Structure 1
Amino acid sequence: MTMINSPLPEGDREIAGAALQATLVDLLDLSLVAKQAHWNLYGPRFRSVHVQLDEVASIARDHADTVAERAAALGVSPDGRAVTIAGSSGVPAFPSGWTRDGDAVDALVRTFSAVIGRVRERIEETGPVDAVSQDLLIGLTAELEKQSWMFQAENRA
């Protein structure tokens, strides 16, 4: 049952809603990975990577809110519960414990690659059914690719 009338036909709403829900989960998990790395970081580049990780967490949370609100506007109930994130995220696992700065950067590069690949697939899925959701995902991808570039550049000597 939906509480909100969707501007999209049911089939299109389901496709867009699934893409938005999967993106929401990935973004929430990305924010958690960034904070885990942020709290457990050590090494000679601690300060710069620590600040950069906080930026990623903030960006991911902000975009997660936008994605969830788009889903709600389509009549799709967004689900950001921990159990949902744990059960359906495509974000690679981040190790527990202290993490050297270079290892954290490498992990974030892998994480961005996974998330970007998944969001790019959703751009293709949403194109035929909802240009607005597709546009949102395109803008998100641009920001994720920018952050990925910054982390990749961080580890090049």
Structure 2
Amino acid sequence: MSTVKSTLPDATLKVVGEALRGALVDLIDLSLVAKQTHWNIIGPRFRSVHLQLDDVVSTARAHSDTVAERSATLGVPPDGRAATVAAGTGISDPPEGWQRDDAAVRFMVDALGAVIVRMRERLDEVGPVDSVSEDVLIQITKDLEKHHWMFQAENAG
């Protein structure tokens, strides 16, 4: 079996590979917790928050594929297995059972915030060594920050 080889130096590849692995784990878990919340939300804002959660799921899934393919491109095998995600996520577990809409929104603000903080840490590590992977992480962070803002606005006032 042949192995995909990157043109990046080994030290750079180690930094970028770890960042991409972490990003993949967080994005997969974000899609899972958003979908779990989507299925269990109740309350007067059910429909709007329900649909907003699907937007987060779509964003996380699309970006997880981009991250996995960037990783594979560099010769770093992507790992989205359940055990890997569970062991490496930065997101708290969602509550079990029904969630009131306001509680669900607070949970998503916290979940998105946790992922954004970790993405920005990865940007600091990857930026100086690989601008292509940095660009991928910038786009992810931009989209997650928009969702974070929208969920915060949902409970404002």
1:118 aligns with 2:130: no
Q: In structure 1, what is the equivalent of residue 48 of structure 2?
A: 48
Q: In structure 2, what is the equivalent of residue 12 of structure 1?
A: 12
CA drift of 1:3 comes to 1.2
Q: In structure 1, what is the equivalent of residue 25 of structure 2?
A: 25
CA drift of 1:5 comes to 1.1
**Aligned-partner Cα distance in 1 for 2:3–2:77:** 9
TM-score between the two structures when normalised by the length of structure 1: 0.97
CA drift of 1:92 comes to 1.7
Q: In structure 1, what is the equivalent of residue 68 of structure 2?
A: 68
Structure 2: which amino acid aligns with 1:135?
D
CA drift of 1:7 comes to 1.8
Deviations 1:78-112 (A, max 9, x none): 00000000111111221111000000000000011
**Aligned-partner Cα distance in 1 for 2:110–2:29:** 14
CA drift of 1:8 comes to 0.4
Structure 1 stretches of 4+ with a deviation exceeding 4 A read: none
TM-score between the two structures when normalised by the length of structure 2: 0.97
Q: After TM superposition, list the pairs within 5 Å mapping 1:69-88 onto structure 2.
A: 69-88=69-88
Percent of aligned positions with the same letter in both sequences?
A: 59
**Which blocks of at least 5 consecutive residues in structure 2 are unaligned?**
none
- How many aligned residue pairs are there? 157
Deviations 1:31-74 (A, max 9, x none): 00000000001000000000000110111000000001000000
Structure 2: which amino acid aligns with 1:16?
V
**Which blocks of at least 5 consecutive residues in structure 1 are unaligned?**
none
Q: Relative to structure 2, which stretch is displaced further, 22-31 or 125-134?
A: 125-134
